[in-house]
C-alpha cells in the first residue's frame, strides 16, 4: 500500500510545481503612490450597471516592461469572483495578477504608463460565446 501513496504524493508535488508560473524577468514593484494614482483613474471607468460599482472590485497591480517601457498592469475582479477581497487594492508581482479567459466586465484589465501618467488601455475581458445569428432578411 505504501508505494501507491508515494506515487500519489510525487504526482501531486510535480503538479503543484508545474502549475507555478515562471518568474517575469521584467517584473518590478510599483510604489504605493503610483498605484494610488492609477487606481484613482481606474475608478472613473464606466461599467454597465449590471456589474455594480467598480469600487467593490478587488484590484491587483504589478509592474512589468512592455516594448522597453515600464508599465503597471492591473486586474480588477468583481466581488462575484473574489468576494473575500472586495474593494481592496493589492500590489503584487506581475506573475500573481489574476487572469481569466472570459467573463466580460467581471474582469477588467488595464495598462498604465507611469512616465506619461495615463492609462494606455482599460477594457472588460473577452466573452467566449458563439457569434450572433445573421440578421433575418
pLDDT tens readout for residues 29-53: 999 999 999 999 999 988 888 888 9
Parallel/antiparallel/unpaired status of strands 58-66 and 89-91 = parallel
For residue 94, what is the DSSP state?
G
Residue 31 sits at φ, ψ, to 5 deg, of -80, 165
Q: How confident is the model at residue 102 (pLDDT cuts 50, 70, 90)?
A: confident
Task: Give the three-state DSSP class for 65.
Answer: strand
Q: Which sign, positive or negative, has the C-alpha torsion 4, 8, 9, 10?
A: positive
Residue 132 lies in a domain: no
Cα–Cα distance, 47 to 97 (Å, whole number) = 21
Residue 101 confidence (pLDDT)? 75
Counting the structural domains of the chain, the total is: 1
pTM of structure? 0.74
CB atoms within 10 A of CB 99: 10
The answer as to whether 2 is a domain residue is no
- Expressed as residue numbers, the domain containing 50 is 24-124
What would the pLDDT profile of 55-97 be if each residue is shown by its tens digit?
999 999 999 999 999 999 999 999 988 788 899 999 998 888 8
Question: Does some domain include residue 28?
Answer: yes
Amino acid at each position: 500500500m505504501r508505494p501507491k501513496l508515494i506515487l500519489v504524493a510525487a504526482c501531486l508535488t510535480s503538479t503543484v510545481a508545474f502549475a507555478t508560473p515562471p518568474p517575469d524577468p521584467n517584473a518590478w514593484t510599483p510604489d504605493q503612490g503610483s498605484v494610488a494614482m492609477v487606481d484613482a483613474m481606474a475608478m472613473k471607468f464606466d461599467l454597465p450597471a449590471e456589474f455594480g460599482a467598480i469600487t467593490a472590485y478587488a484590484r491587483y497591480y504589478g509592474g512589468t516592461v512592455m516594448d522597453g517601457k515600464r508599465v503597471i498592469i492591473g486586474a480588477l475582479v468583481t466581488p462575484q469572483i473574489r468576494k473575500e477581497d472586495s474593494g481592496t487594492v493589492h500590489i503584487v508581482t506581475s506573475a500573481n495578477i489574476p487572469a481569466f479567459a472570459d467573463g466580460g466586465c467581471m474582469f477588467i484589465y488595464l495598462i498604465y504608463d507611469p512616465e506619461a501618467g495615463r492609462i494606455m488601455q482599460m477594457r472588460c475581458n473577452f466573452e467566449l460565446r458563439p457569434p450572433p445569428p445573421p440578421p433575418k432578411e
